[in-house]
Structure 1
Amino acid sequence: MSKTDGSESSVFLSVPDQGHFHIEVVSCYQLTKWRSPMKPLLAITAATLLSLPLSVQAMSADEVVQKHCVACHQAGLGGAPKMDDKAAWAPRIATGVDAMTATVLAGKGAMPPKGTCGSCSKDEIRSAVEAMTAPLQ
């Protein structure tokens, strides 16, 4: 909800709801009127929030795979099982989606935590794991 009061604005950041953040702007004038030892922190926080995108969209499983998984898994870089190598994936698939998701979240070998998708949620990672392994089952 955008609130404006004449030429002044207020700041409001809501809890994410399905990947969306709601941000309203606080004027520097408004911040200077607050009598709080937290005023400098609030000013920095407001400036930081203004630099964020206004909404964060969840990526589809295929988008995550294409943007963050294919680079290593297509060629088998760093020991990553190739995307079409059923034999290499079989023992991993046998552990189940939860275990494979946990491995991606924690990282393994040359793969950093969350692969190369540091901004991905656990659900996005799980969906990508399912999308990558579905053709191999």
Structure 2
Amino acid sequence: MKIPHKALVALVDGERFVLLRNDGQIFEPKLSKVEEPSLDPTNFSAGIRHQDKAGQMKGNTDLNELAHGAAAAEWLNQKAIAGEMDELVVVADPKTLGEMRRHYHSELEKRVVGEVDKALTHEPLDKIEQVLANA
């Protein structure tokens, strides 16, 4: 995957959100940590979609995790609207990525240059770089 020089990389799962920057080249990412924002997950709108009987019986949907994904998307939306980012790659587990997409603002959508549906928030930077280079 192409990751532009100085592009931001958002690593997100249901509990953690880490923002990285590519200081390397387009096909050879070299990531550095920018920040780990503290989020206040208050958007539980995903609960409406998961109130069916089958979803309740299986119990495989954690609304707190989905709310965290929504909060990460809202944080990224604010940065995009304020013009504080140019290009962004989003890396999240499939469930979180799906929830985040529901909350993307049009300004954020313009800046997303790639998405990877993998849970990598607890992996070392060199492994994340390798996964992104091979994506």
Q: TM-score, normalised by structure 1?
A: 0.24
In terms of fraction of residues, the more helix-rich structure is: 1
Q: TM-score, normalised by structure 2?
A: 0.24
Larger Rg: 1
